[in-house]
Structure 1
Amino acid sequence: MKWILSAALALLLSTPAMAGDFTAGLAAPWNGKTIPKGAQCGQQGGSGLTPPIVLSGLPKGTVAVLVEYDDRDYRPLSSGGGHGILLYPVKGSSATLPQVPEMTAKLPHGVRVYKPSRASGKFKTPGFIGPCSGGRHNMYTATIKPIDGQGQVLGKVKIKLGRY
């Protein structure tokens, strides 16, 4: 019985987040449980890249996706894009959001900084900042919002990126 409950919980945790037909999930090596080794912020020895996020069922009319990156366990950066909000252009009903670097406003693949991270001091940046809790097991999340050509939000899904 214990094994069945563990298997059911594992399946639930690996299922992509959904809003209607719109779903979002992480591509390997990200698993939503732990931040992959080396994916933490550059100030703590990592690459600081955003995770690759796989989207499907994007609402009709979606031209871009806003992604709010947060550290749920550090109140100043726990909501509303505390680690930054990036705007990813998309076409069609599915997309894989590419990895882009932290600590810069000059991003590849047409990605733009919508709002920079609210981090301060040596962590202040004109763009996104990666998981940077120093390994205190903080939970990092992303809220994904498809938008249309007029900037209207067409849906919302929140996913866990993992603990660092």
Structure 2
Amino acid sequence: METATFAGGCFWCTEAVFNDVIGVEKVESGYTGGHLADPTYKQVCGGDTGHAEAIRLTYDPGVVSYEDLLEIFFTTHDPTTLNRQGNDVGTQYRSAIFPHDDAQRAAAEAAIARGAGGWPNPIVTTIEPLADWYPAEDYHQEYWGGEGQRNPYCLAVIPPKLQKLRKSFAARSKAATVA
């Protein structure tokens, strides 16, 4: 098993996407990339901690490659808006990759270079040093599978991301392979 860490805006949204990817064993929402130890959701949302809402996922590289995860990451969020995803605005919602080793860093650089021509605006996704990881509070974990189904924001934002995953990566989607 290997680990990947991505920030693509709201962690509820990216968690929902990667929970549906075959080969991803676990997705944890949390905070990374900032300067405050043990931040709370309220502190991170305030925008002063330097942390990003992020996900840390454990995956089986024999089933899904890091390169595939990067492709899914870039396809299911907008990597061209600086410090923003939809209505979420601030550095805590930045698009960032936190490589766990040199191979992941090289793959992230290559993915950004490959994707540069496919977007109407430049990709602003940053590649940042792996930093301390702080799991989000329990109520944020597996959010889409519970409370998120009743949250109007999630109901507006997550289904289109899942549809994009299931359309573009049908062979990689747990739900698409069952349907």
Q: Scaled by the length of structure 1, what TM-score is found?
A: 0.31
RCO greater where, 1 or 2, for CA within 8 Å and sep 6 or more? 2
Greater strand proportion = 1
Q: Counting helix residues as a fraction of each chain, which structure ranks higher?
A: 2
Q: TM-score, normalised by structure 2?
A: 0.29
